C-alpha cells in the first residue's frame, strides 16, 4: 500500500488556512500544520497578537487531529521584509510588504523548512489562488530533477508552472503571490483556489472550527495591525514636515509630517478641508506633496509606467515579448483593483 502523501500546511490562526488544512485531510493526505511567527508586537491590551493566533492555529490542529509545529522567522522577517520596507519608504516608494513576505518568508524559509525538515511532499497555504498543476502533478515534482546551469532555462520554458487566478475574483490573492519562485510554486497546493469565501466559512461552521470563524478578517499590513499607519511608520523614520500644494494654483492647502508617507493616487487627509484631494506628485527635495481635487482630475492619470526588475513567474519572459519586443498584457498595482489593459 502506498504511504499517504505528506502535505505541510501553513496555518495563520485564521479561517482560510484552517479550511485549507481540513480539505487536505479530506483528500486523504497526511497533513502537518505549521504556524509562523514573523513579528513581535503587543496590542493595545499588552497581548501579543502572534501568540493568540498561534493558540488558534494549535486548536485547529487539535480539531483536525493533525501534528502542530511552530517556527519563528522574526529575525528573517526583519532583515528580508521590514528593513527593505523602510528603505523603500525613505526613497519615496511604497512597496507592498505582503508580496515581499510571501517571496522571502512563506515561499522560501517556510518552504525549505517544510520540505527539508518535515519531509513534505508538497506545501499548502490558505491563499485564494490556483496553479496549472493538479495535486498528483505537484507530488511528482520532487522526483523531477531540475537541470542546473546552462540547460536549466530551456527546461523551464517548456515546463513552467503557471499561477492562475482564483474562482472567487473578489478574494483572488495572486497579486500577493506575484513574486513567488517557480521552485516553490511547483511544489504548492492551494486548496481554496476553486472556492468562494462564503463557502469556506460554511465549511468551517460545519466542522467545529467556530473559534477561527468568529475572528475578524485580517486586512492590511500584518506588522501595523490596528494601529494608525502614520504613527507606526514615524516610530522608525524621522518626520520630515512639508506642505500640501495644489496642482491647480500652487496654493498651500495644509501641512504633513513626511512626503514619504504618501502613495501616488492616495487620498490625502488635509485637516480643515472637507472635499477630497489626491496625491499627484512628491517633491523629495522640497518635501512637498502635490495634490489634485477629484479622482477624475487629469493630473492623476498616466499612460506610461516604468519598472526596473521584472519577476517572470515562468523564469523567462513571454515569447511574444522576446520576438516582437512588445506585448499586450493586463496589469494591477493594488489588490482588488480591476485589471487594466
- For 75, other C-beta atoms within 10 Å of its C-beta total 9
Stretch (H or E) spanning 267:
strand 267-268
CATH topology of domain 6-214: Rossmann fold (3.40.50)
pLDDT value, residue 60: 97
The alpha helices in the chain, defined as continuous H runs, are 15-26, 49-64, 74-77, 83-90, 97-101, 111-112, 135-140, 152-158, 182-185, 197-205, 210-213, 229-233, 319-324
Nearest to 61, CA basis, from 32, 37, 36, 38: 32
Global pTM reads: 0.88
Q: pLDDT 10s digit of each residue in the chain, 341 long? A: 457 899 999 999 999 999 999 999 999 999 999 999 988 765 555 567 788 899 999 999 999 999 999 999 999 999 999 999 999 988 888 888 999 999 999 999 999 999 999 999 999 999 999 999 999 999 998 777 666 655 555 554 467 899 999 999 999 999 999 999 999 999 999 999 999 999 999 999 999 999 998 877 766 666 666 667 888 889 899 999 999 999 999 999 999 999 999 988 889 989 888 889 999 999 988 999 999 998 889 999 988 888 888 899 988 888 899 999 998 888 888 887 788 76
- Chain centre to alpha carbon of residue 270: 30
Give the residue among 235, 227, 246 at the shortest CA–CA distance from 86. Answer: 235
> What integer pLDDT is reported at residue 151 of this predicted model?
55
pLDDT reported for residue 305: 84
Contact 92, 259 (CB under 8 A): yes
- Tell me, what DSSP letter sits at residue 143? G
pLDDT for residue 57: 96
The residue from 9, 101, 109, 329 that is catalytic is: 101
Domain ranges in the chain are: 6-214, 239-300
In three-state secondary structure terms, 243 is strand
- Residue 101 catalytic? yes
pLDDT of residue 173: 95
Which contacts of 315-322 are long-range, i.e. CB under 8 A and separated by 24 or more positions?
315/153, 315/156, 315/157, 315/160, 315/182, 316/153, 316/156, 316/157, 316/160
Question: Under a CB-based contact definition with an 8 Å cutoff, are residues 251 and 270 in contact?
Answer: no
Could you confirm whether 54 is annotated as catalytic?
Answer: no
Q: How far apart are CA 174 and CA 168, in angstroms?
A: 11
288: DSSP letter: E
User: Kind and range of the H or E element at 282?
Assistant: strand 277-283
CATH homologous superfamily for 239-300? Adenine nucleotide alpha hydrolases-like domains (2.30.30.280)
Model pLDDT, residue 275: 86
Q: Which of 9, 54, 61, 222 is catalytic?
A: 222
Amino acid at each position: 500500500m502506498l504511504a499517504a502523501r505528506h502535505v505541510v500546511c501553513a496555518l495563520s490562526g485564521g479561517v482560510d488556512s484552517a479550511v485549507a488544512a481540513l480539505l487536505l485531510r479530506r483528500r486523504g493526505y497526511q497533513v502537518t500544520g505549521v504556524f509562523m511567527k514573523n513579528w513581535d508586537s503587543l496590542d493595545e491590551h499588552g497581548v501579543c497578537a502572534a501568540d493568540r493566533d498561534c493558540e488558534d492555529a494549535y486548536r485547529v490542529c487539535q480539531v483536525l487531529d493533525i501534528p502542530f509545529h511552530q517556527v519563528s522567522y522574526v529575525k528573517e522577517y526583519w532583515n528580508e521584509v521590514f528593513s527593505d520596507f523602510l528603505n523603500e519608504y525613505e526613497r519615496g516608494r511604497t512597496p507592498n510588504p505582503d508580496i515581499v513576505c510571501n517571496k522571502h518568508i512563506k515561499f522560501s524559509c517556510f518552504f525549505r523548512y517544510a520540505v527539508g525538515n518535515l519531509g513534505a511532499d508538497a506545501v499548502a497555504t490558505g491563499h485564494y489562488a490556483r496553479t496549472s498543476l493538479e495535486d498528483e502533478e505537484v507530488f511528482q515534482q520532487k522526483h523531477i530533477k531540475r537541470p542546473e546551469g546552462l540547460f536549466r532555462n530551456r527546461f523551464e520554458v517548456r515546463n513552467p508552472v503557471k499561477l492562475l487566478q482564483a474562482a472567487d475574483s473578489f478574494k483572488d490573492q495572486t497579486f500577493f503571490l506575484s513574486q513567488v519562485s517557480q521552485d516553490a510554486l511547483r511544489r504548492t497546493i492551494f486548496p481554496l483556489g476553486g472556492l468562494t469565501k462564503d463557502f469556506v466559512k460554511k465549511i468551517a461552521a460545519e466542522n467545529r472550527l467556530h473559534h477561527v470563524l468568529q475572528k475578524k478578517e485580517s486586512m492590511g499590513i500584518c506588522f501595523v495591525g490596528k494601529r494608525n499607519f502614520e504613527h507606526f511608520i514615524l516610530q522608525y523614520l524621522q518626520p520630515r514636515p512639508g506642505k500640501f500644494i495644489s496642482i491647480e494654483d500652487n496654493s498651500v492647502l495644509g501641512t504633513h509630517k513626511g512626503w514619504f508617507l504618501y502613495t501616488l493616487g492616495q487620498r490625502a487627509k488635509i485637516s480643515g478641508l472637507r472635499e477630497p484631494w489626491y496625491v499627484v506628485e512628491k517633491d523629495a527635495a522640497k518635501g512637498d506633496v502635490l495634490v489634485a481635487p477629484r479622482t477624475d482630475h487629469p493630473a492623476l492619470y498616466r499612460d506610461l509606467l516604468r519598472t526596473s526588475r521584472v519577476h517572470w513567474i515562468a523564469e523567462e519572459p513571454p515569447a511574444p515579448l522576446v520576438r516582437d519586443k512588445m506585448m499586450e498584457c493586463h496589469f494591477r498595482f493594488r489588490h482588488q483593483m480591476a485589471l487594466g489593459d
